[in-house]
Amino acid sequence: MSAAEALRVQPGPSLRGVVTPPGDKSISHRAILLAALAQGTSRVENLLVAGVTRPMLNALTALGVPWRLHETTLTVESPGPQGWRAPRAPLHCGHSATTMRLLAGALAAAGVPAVLDGSPGLRRRPMRRVTEPLRAMGVPIIDTDGHAPLTLAARPSGQPLRGGTFRLAVASAQVKSALLLAGLAAATPVTVHEPGPSRDHTERLLQGLGLRLAFPAAHTVTLHPPQGPLPPLRLRLPGDISAAAFVLVAALITPGSQVVIEGVGLNPTRTGLLDALQRMAADLTVEPQGEAYGEPYGRITARYSPQLHGTTIRGDLVVRMIDEFPILAVAAAYAQGPTTVREAAELRHKESDRITALAAGLRALGVPVEEHPDGFTILGRAGVAGGRAHAHGDHRLAMALTVAGLAAHGPVEVLGAGMFRESYPGFVADLQRLGARVAWRPGEGAA
C-alpha cells in the first residue's frame, strides 16, 4: 500500500446502525498457535483475517502444519509440536511483536530451530525481555543486541525445559504468554509474576483446553505442564474491543449518533477504554451476553455525548487500554477541559512512537497537544479544525485520525490511511454503512 494512500473525511452526518467488529486480534494470534500446538483438528470461527494475522498463518505453513481458511473460519489439522518441521527460511513476523514473542514461546515448546524476523519497525521493538527468561528455561535462543532477528537452535528430542518462577520487570501479556507456551514442554511448573495487570487471554484459553493453572497471588500465574497432548480447539472468537473502540468514539463525538456494537469481547483486562470514557461522561450501555472459553462478550450501545469532559489516566488503567490511546485522544479533543495520560511510556515502543506520532497527527488537525516523556495532555474544548495528517505507518493512528474528522469543523485528509487493513479490514466500509462521508482520494484505496 502507498504511504500517500489517503482517506478524505467530510464531517456532518450522524451515525446510525449496528456493527459486528472483526474477531479479537490478541485471541486470534493465540488461537492459531494453540491450534498448531494441539493434536488433531481444531476449528476457530470469527478469526481476524488481516495483515497482522497473516504472518502467524504463514508460519504454520512454514512449520509444516496443515490449515485452511474459509472466510473467517480456520481449520488446523496438526500432528502436535512433535510433528513440526524446521522452516527453510526465516519466519517473517511483519509488524507484529505479538507474533514474534508468542512464536518464540511456541517454538521453544516444540524444540524446533528457526529464525524470527520482521519489519524495520519490529526490529526496533525490545526482545531481550522475552529471550532472557526463555534462556533461563533452557531454550537455546539468542537475540540481536536485544532486538530481532531471534535465532532458536534445536532442542534435543525428549529433553524438557526447566520450570521455575520468573519475575517480569514490565507487565507484558506477550512475554507472559511466551513463557506459558514454552512451559507446555517444561518438566516442572512455570510461575510468572508481573508488577501489574496484563491481558489474560492465554490463561483463559489454556484453562478452556483443560490445563491446570493456579493464581497464587496478584498478577501471578502458575502453569502445571500437561501430561499429554493438548486437545483441539472448538472456539468462536468474540469481536475485538480495540477495533470496536473506533466506532464507539465515532458515535460519541458525532451529533445525533447512536451505534450498537454486537458480539464484542468484554474481558476486564481489555475494557479500560470503557472505564475511561465513562469517567468522561460518555453515554454508553454495556450488556453482557455470555462467555466462550472463559472470554466474556456482549453488546455495547454508544450515543452522541456532548457532555464529555476531560480526565486523568495513569496506573493500572494504562495497561488495560494500552492499544486504545489514539482513539481516547480523539474523544479528549472533543471534551471540555484537559485530559492527561501519564505512566504510559510503553506507547513509545508500539508500531510507531505512538506518543510523538499521535501528537503530530492531532496538531496537524488543529488540536492542542502537550507531549510528555510518558504520555500527553489534550487540552480539549476546541474540537478538531480539519486539515491533513499522516498515519506514520500505524494502523491505530490511521483509524483514530479518520474518526477525528467525523465531527471536525472542516474536511480531514489522512495520509497512509490504508494501514487500517492491518487490524480492521472492514473499517471504512463499516463507517460508510453507518452513514459517514468517508472516501478514498480518487484513484486510491480499491485494494
Residue of 288, 395, 407 whose CA lies nearest to 22: 395
Residue of 72, 23, 25, 35 whose CA lies nearest to 209: 35
* Contact (Cβ atoms closer than 8 angstroms) between residue 323 and residue 92: no
- How far is CA 67 from each of CA 58, 78, 102, rounded to the nearest angstrom? 10, 8, 19
- The amino acid that residue 248 corresponds to is L
CB atoms within 10 A of CB 64: 15
Kind plus residue range of the DSSP H or E element containing 377: strand 375-378
CA dihedral 242, 244, 249, 255 (to 10 degrees): 170
Taken as a whole, the chain contains a residue count of 447
* Contact (Cβ atoms closer than 8 angstroms) between residue 345 and residue 361: no
Catalytic residue among 117, 323, 394, 430: 323
Residue of 379, 269, 403, 258 whose CA lies nearest to 327: 403
Q: For this structure, is 200 an active site residue?
A: no
Residues 372, 395, 276: CA angle, nearest 5 degrees = 55
Active-site annotation, residues? 323
